[in-house]
Amino acid sequence: MKQILHIFRKDVRRLWIEILLSVVAAALFAWVIPKSWMVGPIWMQNPYQEIAVLANLLLPLSWGLLIARLIHGEVLVGDRQFWITRPYEWPKLLAAKVLFIALFVYLPFLLMEVSILWQAGFSPLSYVPGIFYRLLLISLVFFPLIGLATVTSNLARMVLTLLGIFVIFLFLVSGIAFSTRGDSERWTFSPVPWGGIVTVAFALLVCGAVIVLQYARRRVVVARLLLGSTPFLVLLVSWLCNTGLTVDHAYPAAAQIDASVIRMIPFDQDDRGKACFACSRSESEHSVLNNMNPGAKKWAVIKVKVRSSGVAAGDRWQLDAFRPTLTPASGAPLKLDWQQGQQTFDKPDQPNSFHYEVLDVLIPRADYERLKSSPLTLHLDFALTEARPAWSRQFPLPEGKFMIPEFASCATMANRPVETLGILAVDCRFPLRAPQLTTVSATETIGPCGAAPAQTADRALPVYETVLGDFDTAPADFGISPMEERQFLGSPNNNAITIINGKTVNDAQASRLCPGTPVVVTQYRKVRAVQTGMTIENYRLAAQ
């Protein structure tokens, strides 16, 4: 312990300026971020936002500088260092560095998080696991920085290496984005709830191994190779977490006779699939063919309309992913990989009404060309999550800042004059992470806001509803600021089309959210995850 403290004291004496800079940056961040949260009319400039941008840059830079200077105090690269022939015991040297980083990097970060949570109106004591989980997540920045410092001999080399990594990363990302355009969402589907945690843990483990290896053995070449391969190893683990095997594990097949499971039904049996090459998956059904898009050469997007049946009142089913299989009359079936879905299904609260959702099914272009002329059997496997309301709150939509206790700190951005134009957007900040699956709904007012606000019971008016969050169970999200921001506009949700009494109602330009309108916030809890399927016989792909 004596040696640990001795080395620690030496580092403090040496790096007091860097420590001061880092602490000042953390204090600045904690001070300016809450002030930068916008309140009031959208056109009003918040002067703190520019300082907040600066603080967002300054803080990671000060961490990087402090960590690099600390580790390079006893350089682990090369054979001319004074300390390597002195009675340093590597575990104690490492412990001294860990103590330093804990006190001057992690602790200020922790205090900064607590302060921002407090200023946002949340008691930090209610979020202790999340706060500590964020310390783990922020290690995804610190550990690679420490690892990089252990395999470089000085700050200049470390900065150059970081720049090199950044350039390579940009090159790779743009290369991947270019070559996979049109199916990029296939990469984002994470079917297992623990996939993210496993990937984080693995990344930290590899970086930790590099750090320990360097301190214990100073095997620079091995450590550099290991550190350099970390992103690829992490990608591999991430991929392993997302394979079909893990989907089957995370979403067990529902029993055929289980009446409590949602049934997925083709919306229109006679509807021919409409193909759209290289359409973004969020684009409308009638996307324009863009031959300049490289994805057009690889993928065709088939629009498949589905609706649901058998959803219990209050329940909400989220379609997390789907897996298409196309079987021609003759020939082998084409079984594709899991693709991400984002749709939700619930029991319509109005009689004789139902929702349908459009799935964008990606099919390799070559297979599309091969199969388009023959009738097919289209089978879709669905990975679905059932959710039930955990709690629900109703309150009149206020103007300005307001709190939803233990849930979010929000502010409305009004469109002046609010009396006629209503609320333009609602900006909410959630402590530590985006919320668990939550719906926010309000009945919109048609016409100016001056009249009495719409009431939820008025079924003739369009209902504004937005879905926030997901079923991720991690207690916190990655980030520097502990407040996760989500903004939702006071305009109709265009993702779902509402049909009332057989008439499509999707033109609500004159409708708006008005102050005082009752808002219902409902948070859901995950009940189960199941796999189910749907088959469409005699399915034909559209000819182009």
Partner 1 sequence: MNAAIRTENLEKHFGRTAALDGVSLAVPEGAIYALVGRNGAGKTTLMKLLMNILRPSRGTAQVLNADATRLAGKGFCGIGYVSENQQLPDWMTVGALLDFCRPFYPTWDRALAGELVAQFDLPLDRRLRQLSRGMRMKAAFVSALAYRPRLIVLDEPFSGLDPLVRDELVDSLLELAGESTIFISSHDLAEIESLASHVGYLEEGHLLFSEEMSTLSERFRDVTVTLPEAAAARADFPAACIDVQIAGPVVRFVHTQYEGAATERQVAEAFPSALSIVYDPMPLRAIFLAVAKSQRDRARLAQTNARTVNV
- Quote the tokens at residue 280: 């973004």
Comparing C-alpha atoms, which of 241, 285, 220, 224 is closest to residue 75?
Answer: 220
Minimum CB separation from partner 1 for residue 225, in Å? 17
CB 385 within 8 A of CB 528: yes
CB 321 within 8 A of CB 315: no
156 binds partner 1 (CB under 8 A): no
Minimum CB separation from partner 1 for residue 160, in Å? 20
154 binds partner 1 (CB under 8 A): no
Sign of CA dihedral 182, 188, 190, 195: positive
2 binds partner 1 (CB under 8 A): yes
Q: List the one residue from 84, 160, 176, 390 that touches partner 1 (CB under 8 A).
A: 84
The partner residues of 535 in beta bridges, in order of sequence, read: 379
Provide the residue type at 237 as one letter: V
Q: List the one residue from 46, 49, 56, 81 that touches partner 1 (CB under 8 A).
A: 81
Q: List the one residue from 45, 79, 502, 543 that touches partner 1 (CB under 8 A).
A: 79
Which span sits near partner 1 by CB under 8 A: 6-14, 200-208, 329-337, 447-455? 6-14
Distance CA 177, CA 471 (A): 27
Minimum CB separation from partner 1 for residue 71, in Å? 14
Which is nearer to partner 1, 154 or 456 (by Cβ)?
154
85 binds partner 1 (CB under 8 A): yes
Residue window 86-115: x/- pattern of binding to partner 1, with contact defined by CB under 8 A? xxxxx-------------------------
Q: What is the CA radius of gyration of the chain?
A: 27
The count of residues interacting with partner 1 (CB under 8 A) is 20
For 202-329, list the strands marked E by DSSP.
Answer: 263-266, 274-277, 299-309, 316-328
Sign of CA dihedral 262, 268, 271, 276: negative
Distance CA 184, CA 421 (A): 38
Which is nearer to partner 1, 75 or 530 (by Cβ)?
75
Distance CA 37, CA 40 (A): 10
Which is nearer to partner 1, 84 or 505 (by Cβ)?
84
17 binds partner 1 (CB under 8 A): no
Comparing C-alpha atoms, which of 421, 403, 520 is closest to residue 463?
Answer: 520
Which is nearer to partner 1, 69 or 512 (by Cβ)?
69
Distance CA 514, CA 255 (A): 46
Binders in 380-399 for partner 1, by CB under 8 A: none
80 binds partner 1 (CB under 8 A): yes
14 binds partner 1 (CB under 8 A): yes
Residue window 54-73: x/- pattern of binding to partner 1, with contact defined by CB under 8 A? -------------------x
Phi first, then psi: give them for residue 356, nearest 5 degrees.
-125, 155
Give contact residues for partner 1 (rule: CB under 8 A).
Answer: 2-3, 6, 10, 14, 73, 75, 78-90
